[in-house]
Amino acid sequence: MSPSLFVVVVPFLNLVLLARGQKTEPLSGLTDQTLFRGADRYDFAIMVSPGGTECFWQFAHQSGYFYFNYEVQRTMGLLHGRHITATAHTPKGFLIDKSQDIRGQINFSTKETGFYQLCLSNQHNHFATVQVYLNFGVFYEGADMANNQKNEERQKLNDTLDAIEESTRKVQMNIFHMWRYYNFARMRKGSDFFILQSNYNYVNWWSTAQSIVIVLSGILQLYFLKRLFNAPQVTDTKKPRC
């Protein structure tokens, strides 16, 4: 290799390594445009089969805040264990946190850009299907990524507009957290409704069964009591013995 070519190649390699080590944001281009990232937040209910596992992927930029709330609303099957295992993994597959309960939260800061994996495992219940309500997503403190870049480019706004913009961001963030707490309360309300409905059906079935048993017991007692007072018919050839 000639000395002039070596002088050109070495600085180029240094620039590439420096660019790779600073951020984990994906490169902009055709791949960035065709990649479907989805929404920033979701809330829905899902059925997890006995012994089954359901996984989801949520895209997040680095320097964000990820939240994951879940609650088991009801069970359907032979057993009624309501515990479930929830896990969160990094885009590279490393475990971030784990929760094993009827309801729980997994919150963490995103250290890298990519698709984070969320999984629900129903390994505790091999004979019952569970319905789980999920509420997860990612948010960024202050303005979002696009607004942060625009704010860095424009530095000519006056103090009044800056104050209005800051107040608007705070109001939006407070509304977002209120929405999170509302969804969490809705999860609890749905779970309480299904528990109340299950108890109502349980009481009705047992009341019906006990009523049938009581009626049958009365009929049997009346039948045997009546047989005690049945006197045999006396004839010349058939007389009761002393």
In the prediction, which pLDDT does 7 show? 38
In the prediction, which pLDDT does 95 show? 93
In the prediction, which pLDDT does 29 show? 42
| Separation between Cα atoms, residue 145 and residue 149, nearest integer Å | 6
Torsion of CA 176, 182, 183, 184, to 10 degrees: 110
pTM: 0.52
Token duo for residue 202: 């349980």
In the prediction, which pLDDT does 17 show? 38
Whether the CB-CB separation of 79 and 127 falls below 8 Å is answered with yes
With a cut of 50, list the residues of the chain below it in pLDDT.
1-34, 143
| Separation between Cα atoms, residue 103 and residue 86, nearest integer Å | 10
The string of DSSP letters for 74-114 reads EEEES-----EEEEEE-TTS-EEEEEEESEEEEEEEE-S-E
| Separation between Cα atoms, residue 126 and residue 133, nearest integer Å | 20
In the prediction, which pLDDT does 22 show? 37
CA angle (4, 9, 15) in 5-degree steps: 140
Whether the CB-CB separation of 133 and 82 falls below 8 Å is answered with no
Q: Which domains does the chain have, with CATH numbers?
A: 41-150+176-195 (2.60.120.380)
In the prediction, which pLDDT does 94 show? 93
| Separation between Cα atoms, residue 41 and residue 45, nearest integer Å | 14
